[in-house]
Amino acid sequence: MLKHCLLFITAAFCINVSMAQETVELRYKLSNNVTEVFHVLKNSVNTRQGLFQAIYKKKVPVASGMFDNDKKTGLWRFTDPNGQVLQTYDYSQKKVYFEAPEDTSSPLRYYVDLELKPTDKVTKPVKIGGRYYGYLPYLTLFTLPTGYKEIDRGIVDAVVVLLISPFGRLADYKVNLIAKGLSEPFKTVNMNINLPDPADLVFTPATLNGEPVACRITIKCSVDSKGHLDFE
């Protein structure tokens, strides 16, 4: 009798847990090309739970991993739009397991305002999320300002400039609008660094000979039809 009672209690507990974890799927369009697909608790729509994917053009998951009670957990994988792995990061261990080498085809450039010697050893800043998905928020938060909405997108480039402090914090964030073929911007938009996601303020800082230093990151972008920025 006791055995049956225990089995009944256990079964009831499992059913209650299952019901508490019931989820629904949501989709959020992050950019023209990337849609985030994730699940939230049915009784708490602000709590993400289970598999998360950011999918490029409905085909390539440029970010994938798991949420547990609205916290990223375990190993996440970040790729470029072609599916090439750029980074793997373990949110439980807070550790980068892989960071792909970067070549001259990358739209990102890194600058330190110091005179470097041939013997100096420099490391660049690292953004969790990889060099594609990790930098999308800085592009999608921008919208062409009033007075520039009708600008010919074909003759304008945009350059996002991020200043990362030696402490690994975003210290400045701006967007330069530049006519193709020219080097000086015709418009600089200073962006608010009070970003919606606090994680977008955090980087692994650049280092010079093992010591953290300030570094500017520039990202060459195009202006899309909605006045936001995009890059490949």
Whether residues 175 and 196 fall in one domain: yes
Report the predicted TM-score, pTM, of the whole model to 2 decimal places.
0.86
Residue 22 has pLDDT above 50, yes or no: yes
The total number of structural domains that make up the chain: 2
Q: How much is the pLDDT for 8?
A: 39
Q: Are 203 and 213 in contact (CB under 8 A)?
A: no
7 inside domain: no
Q: Which tens digits make up the pLDDT trace of 74-103?
A: 999 999 999 999 999 999 999 999 999 999
For the segment 203-212, the average pLDDT, to the nearest whole number, is 96
Q: How does residue 153 score in pLDDT terms, banded at 50, 70 and 90? A: confident
The secondary structure of residue 205, as a DSSP letter, is P
Domain boundary among 100, 130, 153: 100
Strand locations in the chain, DSSP E? 23-29, 34-41, 44-48, 50-56, 60-68, 71-79, 85-90, 95-99, 108-111, 122-123, 156-164, 170-179, 187-190, 206-208, 211-213, 215-223, 229-230
Q: For tokens 């975003």, name the residue.
A: 170
